[in-house]
Amino acid sequence: MILIGQYDSPYTRRVAVSLGILGFAFEHDTRSVFGDFDSMRTVNPLGRVPSLVLPDGTTLIDSAAILDWLDQTVGPERTLLPPGGLSRQQALQRIALSTGTIDKVMASAYERLVRPAPYRWPDWISRCRTQAEGGIAALAAHSWPVDARLDQACITTACMIRYIRLADPDLLPPGRYPSLDALSQRCEALPAFRATYPADYVVPSNR
Ligand SMILES: N[C@@H](CCC(=O)N[C@@H](CS)C(=O)NCC(=O)O)C(=O)O
């Protein structure tokens, strides 16, 4: 299997971490959505990451669809998203908060870093950051027991935390939400997270 996308993308990273935790071997294609845009569009018509090329040559796009394929492949005993009931509903709620927050942080980052300065819209950036702060606070209001089974809500939220601390660290300084700090530390210590640790944010360039 080949995973396409860089690990400063939280969506790519949550797939890479999930592949690692579930024990799938994969190659990593580090093409950039911005630097390799034309090439990327031959993989995914949307020109986005992540994509996963399966052993039979099928290309899956969108992290949620890829994660669903992984869970279907390992079977109900090992799924990262609980297969049903209240635990699935609760996990999906947390994932919705995490991915929604990622989307708002990313929208604000693109506005600040990709859009040429004369066209930037401060009110829009402020709105996105307010929405992101709401998502972070709502996630922090949940409990994240350190001995709970590591599920997709934990993985996605930990990837969100690392992404925010790269792209817009003022949104989540250490100490503001100790439960999120603890979740991040617990996850980042695991081999599947360490193998995908994004030390730097690759600033998207439109040049
Ligand atoms: N819903 C998608 C979102 C993917 C996404 O937003 N990817 C970003 C990188 S994290 C991207 O490709 N951005 C470039 C663009 O949209 O032009 C998923 O879960 O895979």
pLDDT in tens, 164-192: 999 999 999 999 999 999 999 999 999 99
Domain ranges for the chain, please list them.
2-74, 85-191
Pull the structure tokens for residue 31: 């093409």
In this structure, CATH architecture of domain 85-191: Up-down Bundle (1.20)
Q: Where are the alpha helices (DSSP H) in the chain?
A: 10-22, 37-43, 63-74, 85-113, 122-141, 152-167, 178-188, 191-194
Residue nearest to ligand 1 atom 12, measured at CA: 48
What is the pLDDT at residue 202? 76
Q: List beta partners, residue 51.
A: 4, 61
From 6, 11, 61, 108, the mutation candidate for ligand 1 (largest count of ligand atoms within 8 A of CB) is: 11
User: What integer is the mean pLDDT of 128-137?
Assistant: 98
61 strand-pairing partners:
51
- Dist CA 153 CA 99 (whole Å): 10
Q: What is the pTM of this model?
A: 0.97
User: Is a pLDDT exceeding 80 seen at residue 72?
Assistant: yes
- Residue 188 Cα to ligand 1 midpoint, Å, equals 22
- Whose alpha carbon is nearest atom 19 of ligand 1? 63
CATH number, domain 2-74 = 3.40.30.10
Of ligand 1's listed atoms, the one at least distance from the Cα of 8 is 10
